[in-house]
Amino acid sequence: MEILQNLTDVLGQSVIYIPAFLFVLTVVVFFHELGHFLVARWCGVSISAFSIGFGPEIFGFNDKHGTRWRFAWVPLGGYVKFLDDVNAASVPDQDALEEMSEEERAGAFQTKPLWQRAAVVAAGPIANFLLAIVIYAALFSIVGQRVLEPRVDEVIAGSAAAAAGFKVGDLIVDIDGESIESLGEVKRLEAINAEQELNITVLRDGQRVELIATPERKMVSGPLGENAQMGVLGIERVYRPLIERVSPDSAADQAGLQAGDLVVRIDGKPISSFMDMQKIVSTSAGKALNITVLRNGIEVTRSATPKATETKDAAGNTVTLGLLGVQRKDESVHERYDPLTAVWMGTKETYVIAAHTLTYLGRIIRGKESADQLGGPIKIAQVSGQVAQLGFAALIGLTALLSVSIGLLNLFPIPILDGGHLLFYAFEAVLGRPLSARTQEIGFRIGLVLIIMLMIFVTRNDLINNSF
């Protein structure tokens, strides 16, 4: 029965995971190939096909320039095929080039000047970066974001922050020269800098104070429930026990608690955070509590009895908790930005993602970071499905993130990838002639082996990490 249940769960998840995965991948691949296509068309290159997916064609059409626009059965990528390409990887076909007429040779990719060939190849990754900038700019402008002030409300005892000298009330303004405007930026920087020294500037009593902290490497649960090794400083924002909403007919409603009340004591015990209140309430099901709140500057005490509520804990066990029926006030600020500011923020976000990705990969190469966090198609599918459940805006945001990753990956100097082609062109520029066909063929074979090895490795990571 358990096996049947697991199978049912996987099938149920696939209903969301597969369409979300295909949507994200198709958008990213389409714009990548569109970058190649547009610049190639501008340079007068004859294009045989523009394909989304590989393998047999599902449907397609020819445009007025003779390009076949096709959708294929294997939707795990795509390609633009030039007239003189051997295959979808844009390996040049020297034999076909020699047999072409003068008119055909004029439209061949390999006969174009070096700068045009380089521009066509680079246009794919550039299109990915531009897509990310446009998406982020649209999200910042239309959807906006919630910003929580990067102020320290709590320093965890024994943490890296405690060792560095952080104090309650510190306002973080700078990390390694990067201006900090929200708590989210702090969390992102600490997460990707495990065991790396950070120079942090805080405002303390109106004075700038320089601190040096090294985030500890810990296993942390991400927002989608995934576990990952991340850097942790040990600083927290503590939500004040300020009631924003009281549920009708709840224990709090029956006791006379109101929106706007600030809880200051429960049974005489001082309350400094919403979490303090939750801890007491959750363990007091059916027990009358004397709750003192500050209302319009006056202390008011009410007696409330948390209602017993059954729920599941992290291990899946049924537990009974006390529920008061209040919702804390969200002290973050929702901000939308004008189009110009949004474009700048989108550009900055794209740069930050690219820079942090390269830093992480550099640490893997130097043996200072584990490669077990690298994921492949299975992980992308899982995350796509989970994000899709959060809403369309979240899925579009994931598309931007993946677009940056695909753009970076294609710039790696590995033959078959765009970066490999650019590497060959760099040699051509230095030598004054193209590398021999034999040398390029060997390079493409090596590149294919490297890509296959990478795919096996990340798929192994996906399976070991139980992505499904």
What per-residue confidence (pLDDT) applies to 164?
93
Position 384, amino acid: S
What per-residue confidence (pLDDT) applies to 13?
54
Q: What angle do CA 127, 334, 161 make, to 5 degrees?
A: 90
Question: What is the C-alpha to C-alpha distance for residues 78 and 32, in angstroms, rounded to an integer?
Answer: 9
352 burial type by CB count under 10 A (0-12 exposed, 13-18 middle, 19+ buried): middle
Question: What is the C-alpha to C-alpha distance for residues 231 and 457, in angstroms, rounded to an integer?
Answer: 24
State the pTM of this model: 0.77
What own/partner pairs with CB < 8 Å and gap ≥ 24 does 24-27 have?
A: 24/380, 24/384, 24/395, 24/398, 24/399, 24/402, 25/75, 25/76, 25/77, 25/380, 25/402, 26/52, 26/75, 27/131, 27/399, 27/403
* 33 is annotated as an active-site residue: yes
What per-residue confidence (pLDDT) applies to 5?
45
Question: What is the C-alpha to C-alpha distance for residues 110 and 421, in angstroms, rounded to an integer?
Answer: 12
Q: Hey, what domains does the chain have and what are their CATH numbers? A: 1-43+112-144+338-420+457-468 (no CATH), 145-239+331-335 (2.30.42.10), 243-328 (2.30.42.10)
What per-residue confidence (pLDDT) applies to 38?
96
240 burial type by CB count under 10 A (0-12 exposed, 13-18 middle, 19+ buried): middle
Question: What is the C-alpha to C-alpha distance for residues 387 and 14, in angstroms, rounded to an integer?
Answer: 13
The pLDDT tens digits for 246-303 are: 999 999 999 999 998 999 999 999 987 888 888 899 889 899 999 999 999 899 999 9
What per-residue confidence (pLDDT) applies to 388?
73
Structure tokens at 152: 């320290």
Residues 6+ apart with CB under 8 A from 272: 238, 241
Q: Which residues of the chain have pLDDT under 70?
A: 1-16, 86-98, 220-228, 312-316, 331, 369, 465-468
Structure tokens at 47: 């294009």
Catalytic residue among 2, 33, 190, 197: 33
Q: Find the helix or strand (DSSP H, E) in which 81 lies.
A: strand 68-82
Question: What is the C-alpha to C-alpha distance for residues 4 and 9, in angstroms, rounded to an integer?
Answer: 9
CA distances from 330 to 42, 130, 245, 335 (A): 51, 34, 11, 14
CB 16 within 8 A of CB 388: yes
305 Cα distance to chain centroid: 43
Question: What is the C-alpha to C-alpha distance for residues 426 and 438, in angstroms, rounded to an integer?
Answer: 17
Structure tokens at 264: 């200051």
The pLDDT tens digits for 146-180 are: 788 888 888 888 999 999 999 988 899 999 988 88
| Closest to 291 (Cα-Cα) out of 250, 248, 256 | 256
What per-residue confidence (pLDDT) applies to 343?
96
88 Cα distance to chain centroid: 29
464 burial type by CB count under 10 A (0-12 exposed, 13-18 middle, 19+ buried): exposed
